[in-house]
Chain A
Amino acid sequence: MALDDGTLASRIAKAGAVPDSAAETELYRRLAPRVRLYGLRHLRDPQAAADLVQQVLLFTLEQLRAGKVRKPEKIASFVLGTCRMTVLEIRRGTRRREALLKTWGDMAEAFEAPEPLALDADRLVPCLEALTERERSVVVLSFFADKQADEVGVELSISGGNVRVIRHRALMRLRHCMGAAEDEA
């Protein structure tokens, strides 16, 4: 049975002078997508999100190695807190990526985040074309510039609630067309 995140973090914290490379690599691999999602949501830039993954997770591993994480079994909370703090610092312009990479440059080379998910464009386009005109317009207007339902509604002279209904129906049809698992409503 696979170890949970907290157990991996505890192993890293208890490793002592010789780092537990296997546990560190596995924890990095697991947490990288979660940090990247946070970064994409708050920074809206794939490169900035990739940088955030590196900054947050290298800091986390360093803190674990040094025994400075009080509750390694709650590592997810520690990483989320570090994400929040780092994004605030980035927004204030006080975070210096170059300085961080200077500190952890050697360490950074040892870890690699999993590639972000990518869709098969050749499958997506026919699926978008199979939507109704209104559904396609709502999807494109929503996701091209990440606009909220109320904004899209104003642009198309319909209510935000109506946009949400059309958007949800369109996404369900897209998921079905793309062959995604139907595990939710």
Chain B
Amino acid sequence: MRCKNPISLELLVAYWLGEVSETRAATLEEHFFGCAHCTQRAEALVALAAGVRAAVRDGKLSMAVSTAFVEAMKQAGLHVREYRVEPGGSVNCTIRADDDAVISRLRAPLAGVTRLDVVSMPGAGGTPEERLIDVPFDAQTGEVLMIPSARRLKTMPTHTLRMQLLAVSETGERPIGDYTFNHTPS
């Protein structure tokens, strides 16, 4: 069943996401219809995409996302709770049983920032200190959107979490925002 001239993973992804021309897609489809091996590899990619969607829906992932992604979550019918926090600010927050995700919108002066790290510092009863390196962000929105794992958050007791954004460059790093989350289970 193996293929002598398998379609590369890069091309399989480009086909699945519609990044190839109609003509190229048609050529690839002719290959798939004659090749069980490449079809199976494409199916594995489709299964991965489905697995990613399921992990997001089930609140199993922590991640930095975009504003458009949050809109896509809402369009997919997910219930999203959002907290917007200014630098130096704090917020009382929670997650309810019917929430699929909680979004922390960290406002920050991001213009000119090339690398952003996020440090989470525990308050009493909080999680251990953690540093997330090179977190993606959209500088134009002036916000960093963080989604903690909803599944994990729902098991957490009352605690305080402090987050700090660090702009990192070749010359060093500087804090550009501190945020405090006072979490209470609901």
Are both chains from one complex?
A: yes
Chain A nearest CB, measured from B16 CB (Å):
7
Q: Is B140 in the interface zone, CB < 8 Å from A?
A: yes
Q: Is A185 in the interface zone, CB < 8 Å from B?
A: yes
Q: Is A121 in the interface zone, CB < 8 Å from B?
A: yes
Q: Which of the candidate stretches B44-52, B84-92, B120-128, B156-164 sits at the interface with the other chain?
A: B44-52
Contact yes or no, B49 A157, CB < 8 A: no
Contact yes or no, A37 B46, CB < 8 A: yes
Q: Is A88 in the interface zone, CB < 8 Å from B?
A: no
- For residue A185, which residues in chain B have a CB less than 8 angstroms away from its CB? 8-9
Closest residue to A185 on the B side, CB-wise? Answer: B8
Which parts of A5-60 form the interface with B (CB within 8 Å)? 5, 30-31, 33-34, 36-38, 40-41
Contact yes or no, B47 A125, CB < 8 A: no
Contact yes or no, B136 A137, CB < 8 A: yes
Contact yes or no, A171 B9, CB < 8 A: yes
Q: Is A69 in the interface zone, CB < 8 Å from B?
A: no
Contact yes or no, A33 B134, CB < 8 A: no
The count of chain A contact residues (Cβ–Cβ below 8 Å) is 56
Q: Is A159 in the interface zone, CB < 8 Å from B?
A: no
Chain A nearest CB, measured from B12 CB (Å):
9
Q: Which of the candidate stretches A91-99, A100-108, A139-147 sits at the interface with the other chain?
A: A139-147
Docked complex Cα distance between A139 and B49 (Å)? 9
Pick from A30, A119, A180: contact of B36, CB below 8 A.
A30
- For residue B79, which residues in chain A have a CB less than 8 angstroms away from its CB? none
Specify which of B41, B42, B48, B65 lies most central, judged by the most chain A CB atoms within 10 Å of its CB.
Answer: B48
Docked complex Cα distance between A77 and B73 (Å)? 39
Contact yes or no, A144 B69, CB < 8 A: yes
Residue interface bits A154-171, CB-to-B below 8 A is 1, else 0: 011110000010011001
Chain B nearest CB, measured from A142 CB (Å):
7
- For residue A171, which residues in chain B have a CB less than 8 angstroms away from its CB? 9, 13, 48
Q: Is B138 in the interface zone, CB < 8 Å from A?
A: yes
Closest residue to B118 on the A side, CB-wise? Answer: A133
Question: Between A and B, how many residue pairs show CB distances below 8 Å?
Answer: 157
Q: Is the interface of A mostly helix, strand, loop or mixed?
A: helix
Known pairs A80-B30, A142-B17, A184-B6; A133 contacts B135 (CB<8 A): yes
Chain B nearest CB, measured from A178 CB (Å):
8
Q: Is A183 in the interface zone, CB < 8 Å from B?
A: yes
Contact yes or no, B72 A144, CB < 8 A: yes
Contact yes or no, B43 A33, CB < 8 A: yes
Docked complex Cα distance between A38 and B25 (Å)? 10
Contact yes or no, A119 B50, CB < 8 A: yes
Pick from A117, A129, A134: contact of B134, CB below 8 A.
A134
- For residue B8, which residues in chain A have a CB less than 8 angstroms away from its CB? 184-185
Contact yes or no, B52 A144, CB < 8 A: yes
Residue interface bits A66-98, CB-to-B below 8 A is 1, else 0: 000000000011011000000000000000000
Docked complex Cα distance between A144 and B55 (Å)? 10
Known pairs A33-B40, A128-B55, A155-B138; A168 contacts B13 (CB<8 A): yes
Q: Is B81 in the interface zone, CB < 8 Å from A?
A: no
- Chain B interface residues toward A at CB < 8 A: 2, 6, 8-10, 13, 15-19, 25, 29-30, 32-34, 36, 39-44, 46-56, 58, 60-69, 72-73, 76, 132-140
List the 4 shortest-distance A-B pairs measured between CB atoms, nearest first: A155-B66, A143-B49, A76-B33, A119-B51
